[in-house]
Amino acid sequence: MGAASAKSVEGAVPAGFRVRRELMDAERLSRALSRIAHQIVERRRDAEGLVLVGVRTRGVPLARRLARLVAEAGAPPPPVGALDITLYRDDLTTVASQPVLRRTEIPVSIDGRTVVLVDDVLYTGRTVRAALDEIIDFGRPARIKLAALIDRGHRELPICPDYVGQTITTTRDESVQVLVKEEDGHDRVLLLEKEPARRPAKGKPRRRA
Amino acid sequence: MNGYPHRHLLGIESLQPSEITAILDTAESLREILDRPIKKVPALRGKTVVNLFYEPSTRTRASFEVAEKVLSADSLSIAASTSSAQKGETLLDTAKNLEAMNPDMIVLRHSASGAPHFLARHCRAAIVNAGDGAHEHPTQALLDALTLRQRKKRLEGLRVAIVGDLLHSRVARSNVWLLSKMGAKVVLCAPPTLVPPGIDALAPVTYRIDEAVEGADAVMMLRIQHERMTGGYYPSDREYHLRFGLTEARVKRAKKDVLILHPGPMNRGVEIASEVADGPYSVILDQVTNGVAVRMAVLLLLLGGGGES
């Protein structure tokens, strides 16, 4: 079993990175989501007319789970949308390779409602800027709030989350990888660091020739 | 990883099935934008596209223009009938002059086969073929495929009849290439005078429409291109309709859930009966909406990053 989980973690780590430490296991991740759900329900104004909108890719399953937890906490079950912010990126025409575009789905009118944007990792804030622009093209919500599972700092824009699972300090060389059952087979949050360039990782065959 | 690693879209013949799928998937994701309250995304802000049309076109040109506007590209359209082409300027001179204004893309419709390939060799801009002579019309084939895929959930294994003026049809050629690459079974049908030599190497040809339509999942009707016809290819429009027109009786030979496609503009009462064009199996208006989505996908894949390297 240990070997199997090590293998699946390795598959999730992008080339040039290695795992530094685990930030959350499945249980801590689920506790963090349930705390956020309770906080949303406690702020009555947010819970009424609530729409949860996940930012693709991993914000979407997180938003679906939050919707279930919000309903379990006694609020009406909120509709869930999905946002692909690719077309609103500020670096779309300069990125080296074209990201795969997926469909944006906003199932209800957002006019006058509270939209909670859900993303896995909050970092520079540029994704959130793009998501705000895209949401506003769908209507005029009463307010937009931001929920992030991990806030890792290093903001480049004046953006601040309303609901956070865990705040951590990172360096820019590091990376945070959120794994969710729906996409990756299991729940886990990992802090990654760049592999030293000089020597290949010990004891493991190089993944890329 | 880039789903579409080319700088231009010149034709279907040179594309890999995975590249066709990448364009169709992107178009499928983009289609939703056309239903939004604000039908505009900032993806291609600051990019300039020139639509250079040397042949008349309503649908294709309007479709490219809408796609460009939805993606926030700046675009200008030049119709040869109102341009310096009337004063005898060559295609290359026109293109070079336009290029001095630094467009990122030129969408070209031209009566000469290979005109876009020629521009691609001489221009820095990305070139999109919007129909070249009787050669290819790649975005039409892509939008037909998108329409089929939406309704049938697959392309592989579909039996598709392409009926009509094969001789002058770039739509037919692009479609035969695309559908066979994606694993569909294509049957071609036309009067012997309208079958170009060599096309039987791409797909089987029959002279009987009843045979072509038999058991088909989809029938693509081609327009009789009166404007390109210099000789007597068939006795009369009436005769053509009797022998090769798609009538309700003939539609009944196809599968129950058959789809009828036509690239437009239709000659009602010649290649297609009005009842069929307006019938429940007709997806002709879906094709128009999908046309915008496919052109948005092409613009985005060619101009939206990754195109340089």
Q: Give the type of residue at B65.
A: E
Predicted pLDDT at B309: 34
Asked if B189 and B206 count as a contact pair (C-beta separation under 8 A), the reply is: yes
Q: What is the CATH number of the domain that holds A84?
A: 3.40.50.2020
Amino acid present at A33: L
Residue A5 lies in a domain: no
Q: Do B305 and A84 make contact, defined as CB atoms within 8 angstroms?
A: no
| B73: closest CA of chain A, how far (Å) | 12
Query: Hey, is the C-beta of B71 within 8 angstroms of any chain A C-beta?
Result: yes
**Does residue A4 have a pLDDT over 70?**
no
| Closest Cα in chain A to B35 | A138
pLDDT above 90 for B308: no
Question: Do residues B109 and B87 touch, judged by C-beta distance below 8 A?
Answer: no
Q: How many CB atoms lie within 10 A of CB A114?
A: 21
- Report pLDDT for B214: 97
**Is pLDDT above 50 for A5?**
no
Q: How many CB pairs under 8 A join A and B?
A: 66
In contact, B131 and B57? CB cutoff 8 Å: yes
Best to test chain B binding among A83, A97, A98 (most B CBs inside 10 Å): A98
Question: For residue range A66-119, what is the model confidence (pLDDT) as tens digits?
Answer: 999 999 998 999 999 999 999 999 888 777 677 789 999 999 999 999 999 999
Q: What is the model's pLDDT at position A207? A: 53
Q: Are B304 and A93 inside 8 Å of each other by CB?
A: yes
pLDDT value of position B84: 73
Is residue A111 in some structural domain? yes
Q: What percent of chain B has pLDDT over 70?
A: 98
Per-residue pLDDT band for A209 (boundaries 50, 70, 90) equals very low
Separation CA B116–CA B107 (nearest Å) = 9
Q: Could you list the residue range(s) of the whole structural domain that residue A26 is in?
A: 22-194
Question: What is the residue-averaged pLDDT of chain B?
Answer: 93
- Give CA–CA dist B16/B20, Å, rounded: 6
Q: Residue A127 contacts by C-beta under 8 Å, 6 or more apart in sequence?
A: A55, A85, A119
Domains of chain B: 17-135+288-303 (3.40.50.1370), 138-284 (3.40.50.1370)
Sorted by sequence, the CB contacts under 8 Å of residue B303 that are 6+ apart come out as: A93, B44, B47, B49, B73, B104, B105, B126
**Chain A touched by B44 (CB under 8 Å):** yes
Q: How many CA atoms lie within 13 A of A12 on its CB side?
A: 24
Note whether residue A167 is domain-resident: yes
> From CA A45, how far away is CA A54, in angstroms rounded?
20
List, for residues B72-81, the tens digit of each pLDDT value: 999 999 988 7
* Residues from chain B contacting residue A129 (CB–CB below 8 Å): none
pLDDT tens digits, one per residue of A131-167: 999 999 999 999 999 999 999 999 999 999 999 999 9
The C-alpha atoms of residue B24 and residue B147 are separated, in whole angstroms, by 10
Q: From the CB of residue A112, how many other CB atoms can be counted at a distance below 10 Å?
A: 11
- Cβ separation of A98 and B305 shorter than 8 Å? yes
A40 has a pLDDT exceeding 80 = yes
Q: Which residues contact B243 (CB under 8 A, 6 or more apart)?
A: B191, B209, B234
Which residue do the tokens 């042949």 mark? Answer: B55
- Cβ-Cβ contacts under 8 Å for B96 (sequence gap 6 or more): B122, B123
Tell me which of A87, A91, A134, A137 to substitute to probe the interface with B (most B C-beta atoms closer than 10 Å).
A87
- Chain-centroid distance of CA B147 in Å reads 12
Query: How close, in Å, is residue B20 to chain A by CA atoms?
Result: 14
- Position A11 scores a pLDDT of 61
Residue A115 lies in a domain: yes
3-state secondary structure of A36: helix
Residue with token string 């088909």: B216
Number of domains in chain A: 1
What's residue A9's pLDDT? Answer: 56
> B305 and A88: CB-CB below 8 Å?
no
Q: Coil, strand, or helix at residue A182?
A: helix
> What b/e string do you get for B154-173 counting C-beta neighbours within 10 Å, with b at 16 or more?
ebeebbbbbbbbbbbbbbbb
What is the rounded distance in angstroms from the CA atom of residue A81 to the CA atom of residue B303?
Answer: 28
Amino acid (one-letter) located at B198: G
* CA A189/CA A124 separation, integer angstroms: 18
Asked, for residue A207, whether it belongs to a domain, the answer is no
Indicate yes or no: CB of B26 within 8 angstroms of CB of A101: yes
Q: Is residue A206 part of a domain?
A: no
Residue A104 in contact with partner chain B when CB distance is under 8 A:
yes
Tokens 């879906």 correspond to what residue?
A: B286
Contact B47 A93 (CB under 8 A): yes
The first and second tokens of residue B300, run together, are 């985005």
- Distance (Å) from the alpha carbon of A147 to chain B's nearest alpha carbon: 24
Q: Do A97 and B305 touch (CB under 8 A)?
A: yes
Record: contact B32-A105, CB cut-off 8 A: yes
Alpha-carbon distance B57 to B223, whole Å?
A: 14
pLDDT at A171: 95
Question: How high is the pLDDT of residue A97?
Answer: 73
Average pLDDT over residues A160-187: 95
In a domain, A14, yes or no: no
Q: Which helix (H) or strand (E) holds B20?
A: helix B17-30
Better-scored residue on pLDDT, B76 or B306: B76
* Residues B2, A98: C-beta atoms closer than 8 Å: yes
Average of per-residue pLDDT across B266-279: 94
Instruction: Report the pLDDT averaged over residues B69-98.
Output: 87
Q: Do A87 and B71 touch (CB under 8 A)?
A: yes
Mean pLDDT of B214-226: 95
Count of H helices and E strands in chain A?
A: 6, 8
Q: Would the pLDDT of B2 be above 70?
A: no
pLDDT band at B164 (very low <50, low <70, confident <90, very high): very high
What does pTM read for this prediction?
0.89
Q: Which residues pair with residue A144 across a beta bridge?
A: A115
Least confident interval from A49-53, A195-199, B91-95, B256-260: A195-199
A95: in domain: yes
B309 or A26: which leads in pLDDT: A26
Of the candidate ranges A29-43, B16-30, B218-232, the one whose mean pLDDT is the lowest: B218-232
Contact between chains at A133 and B42 (C-beta distance less than 8 A): yes
Which of these, B32, B304, B55, B23, lies nearest to B144 by C-alpha position?
Answer: B23
| A positions 64-103 inside 8 Å of B (CB) | 84, 86-88, 91-98, 100-103
pLDDT class of A46 with cuts at 50, 70, 90: confident
Q: Which two tokens stand for residue A66?
A: 């939050």
Mean predicted confidence (pLDDT) in B277-290: 94
How many Cβ atoms from other residues are within 10 Å of residue B300's Cβ?
28
Asked if A92's CB is within 8 angstroms of B43's CB, the reply is yes
B306 pLDDT higher than 70: no
* DSSP assignment letter at A106: -
User: Would an 8 Å CB–CB cutoff place B41 in contact with chain A?
Assistant: yes
Nearest-CA distance B29 → chain A (Å): 4
pLDDT mean over A42-47: 82
**Residue showing tokens 């896995």:** A120
Q: What letters, b where the CB count within 10 A reaches 16 and e where it falls short, cover B217-248?
A: bbbbbbbbbeeeeeeebbeeeeebbeebbbee
Cα A128 from Cα A130, distance rounded (Å): 5
